[in-house]
Chain A
Amino acid sequence: MKGLLASVAIAGLAIQPLAAQDADEPEIIEAEDVDDTPLPSAHGYEPQDDLEKGLWYEMDEAEKRLKESRFLIEDPELNAYVRSVLCKTVGEERCQATRLYLVRTPQFNASMAPNGAMLVYSGLLLRMRDEAQLAAVLGHEFTHFEKQHSLRIFRSIRTKTDIMSWLSILPVRLPYAAAMASQYALIGSVYSFNREMEREADAGSIDELVSAGYDPRAASAIWSQLGAEMDATAKERRHRSDKNRNGGLFATHPRSTDRMGKLAIMAREAMDEDKEYDRGATEYRAAIGDWWPKLIDDQIALKDFGGTEYLLATLAGDDPLGWTGDLLYARGELYRARAEEGDFAQAADFYRQAIATGTAPAESWRGLGISLLRDGFKAEGQAALRSYLDLRPDAPDAALLASMAGETA
C-alpha cells in the first residue's frame, strides 16, 4: 500500500507542467524536527528512510533517462561555467552534491530534485544579465534542495487520506511545452513549494550571494525583469499578466511583486557598506556568447512578440548603444515574424542597422531581402538575397533563395 501511495504521488508531480502552477497550493504539513539529520549536501549523504529511499530510486531512474535526452546541452565549456558559478555561490564542498544538467528549452526555469540533480533551462541563461543573477537562481534552488523542501512535500502527501483530492487541486495548465518536457518532467518537477519554503529559499539565496561576494541585489532585479516581461507578453496577447501566478521558481506565494520588495530589503540588510560586490556582467556575457544566437532563435520561435521585444530591450540595457548587431538582427526577425501592418518596413530597418554595425550575422541579409520582397521592393529585395547567398552559398535554403533572387537555380 505504501508503495502504491508513493507512486501515485510521484505520478501526480510528474505531470505538473514545469512552470505553470497557479491557484492555491495544498497546505504542506511541516516536517518533524530534522535538526539532527545530516544535510543532503553533506558528503556521502544517504536517504534516511523508506520513503526517501523510494523517492531517490524514482529520481535516479528519471535521471538516467534525462542523460539520454537530446535536449541536454553537452557543451563542456558552458556546463563548466554554470557549475563554477554554483560552486562559487554555495562553496566547493556543498556543490559536490549537485549533478548539473543544462536543458535546451526556451522557458525561464530551473529546478533541483531531492537526489541532487539540478536542471537549468536555456531560457533562464538567455534572461540573466550577469553572473550574480544566475548565482541568485542557483542559490535559491540549492536552498530548496538542502532544506529538503520537496521531500517534506512528499511526506505531507502521505499524511493525507485522500490523495486523489489532493491531486485534483494540483493546478494544471498544460502548455504545449509540456509535451516536449515529458522526458524530464519527473526529474525536473517544479514543486509547489509553500510560502514558508519560498521565503527560506529566498533568504538562503541572499546569504549565499553575500558570502560568495556577489551583489545580492541581483535577486530582486530578476523579479522586476520577469514581471515586466510577463506584463509585456500579456499586453500583446491581451490576457492577464502571469507575473503573479507563474509557478516553480516563481511560485504563487509570496506574490512576485511583494517578493521583489522583500528581496530588495533583505539584500540591503545583508550588504556590508564597505565591501565591493561583484555582478560579473562581462564574465557572464563572455561565457554565454557562443550560445546566445541559438537561444534568442529559440525565444523568437515562441512567437511571444511582447515578451521578446521587452527582453531584447533589457538585454540592450535600455541604451541605444547597447543594440549590438545580434540584438538588432533578432529584433528584425521578431518584427518580420509578426508580419503585421508596417512590420516588414520596421524589420528591414532593423536589419539595415544590424548590417551597419559590421558585426551582425549574415542572416541579416536574408531577413532584409525577404522583408523587402514582402513589402514590394523587388529589385532591392533580390539584391539583398544575392548578398546573403554570396556570404552563405551553402545555406539550407540557398536553392530556393536563388530562385527568389531571380537567379536560375
Chain B
Amino acid sequence: MMNFLMKSAAALALASTLVAAPAEARWRLVEAGDERKVARSKLVVTAPEDWNRATERPTSRSEIWTTEGTQLTELMFYAKIKDGETLFKRRQRKRNPLPEFSPDMLPTDLVEWYEDTANIVLGGSLFEIVEVQPATLGGYPGVHFRYSYTGGDNVARLGEVRAAIIDEKLYLISFEAPKIYYFDRYITGVRAMMDNARFE
C-alpha cells in the first residue's frame, strides 16, 4: 500500500498520474515518417521523428507515446469517447467524480471539460488555459488550446491539445512536457502531427 501511495504522491504528468502501470508497459519504436492508426480508431498520424508507443493502453480509448519517458514528454491520443464517458478512468466515482463528456459540448466547453478534469486529477489549482483557437482535426472543425500547470512534483509544464467532436464522439490529441527545454524541443513536430492527422 505504501508503494502505491508513494507512487501516487509523486504526481507525474497529467495523464500518467492515472495510467495504471506505465513503468511496466513495454515500448515499441515508431520511426520518423511512420503512419499509424492510434487509439483503436481510424485516426491516422504521422510520426514527425522517432517516438515510442506504449503497448499498454491507459484506457481502451487511449494510447500513450513518449520520447524520453512520460514525465518529460507525454503524447496522448484519445478516440471515440462517447456521451457520458470521462477522459480518464474513473477512480473515485462518488467522492471525486470526473466530468463526463457530452456530444452537445461547444468547443469552449471542451476546453473547460479538460481543465476541470485536470483540476480534479491534479487536485490543484495552478492549471491555466493560455490560449484557445479554432482549429481542425482530420478535416473536422474543432479546437486547439495551450495550457500550463504545476503538478505535485513542482515542475512547471506546458501542454497543447487538439480536439474535435466527430459524429458525436470525441477525438483528442494532447502533448505535455516540462516548460524548461522539453516542451520547445518537441512542440513543432507535435503541432505538425496534429495538423496532418487524418481519418482513414
Contacts and interface: CB of A to CB of B under 8 A. Distances in A.
Interface of A: 11, 15, 68-71, 104-106, 122, 167-168, 172, 174-183, 185, 237-239, 297-298, 301-303, 337, 339, 370, 373-374, 396-397, 399-401, 403-404, 409
13 contacts: A71-B150, A172-B1, A176-B120, A179-B123, A179-B151, A181-B123, A182-B11, A183-B152, A239-B94, A374-B106, A396-B129, A400-B143, A409-B134
Contacts of A174: 5, 8
A230 B17 CA distance: 27
Contacts of A179: 8-11, 17, 121-123, 151-152
A396 B143 CA distance: 13
Contacts of B17: 179
Given A71-B150, A397-B129, A370 B106 contact: yes
Interface stretch (B35-43, B51-59, B110-118, B183-191): B110-118
A401 B145 CA distance: 13
Given A68-B154, A404-B108, 6 more contacts: A71-B150, A105-B123, A172-B5, A370-B106, A397-B108, A399-B134
B60 interface: no
B109 interface: yes
Interface stretch (B19-27, B95-103, B165-173): B95-103
Interface residues of B, number: 48
Contacts of B119: 301-302
Contact of B123 (A11, A69, A177, A374): A177
A178 B123 contact: yes
B131 interface: yes
Nearest to B123: A177
A71 B11 CA distance: 15
Chain A binding site: helix, strand, loop or mixed by DSSP? Answer: helix
Contacts of B95: 175, 237, 239
Given A178-B9, A237-B95, A399-B134, A15 B2 contact: yes
B96 A176 contact: yes
A105 B125 contact: yes
A303 B106 contact: no
Q: Which of A68, A297, A401 has the most CB of B within 10 A?
A: A401
B30 interface: no
Contacts of A298: 125
Nearest to B144: A400
B19 to A, nearest CB: 13
Contacts of B193: none
A177 B4 CA distance: 15
Contacts of B5: 15, 172, 174, 178
Contacts of A185: 9
B134 A400 contact: yes
A180 B124 CA distance: 6
Contacts of B200: none
Contacts of B115: 301
Contact of A104 (B8, B125, B154): B125
Top 9 nearest A-B pairs (CB, nearest first) are: A177-B123, A397-B132, A179-B11, A180-B124, A182-B9, A298-B125, A301-B119, A180-B123, A179-B152
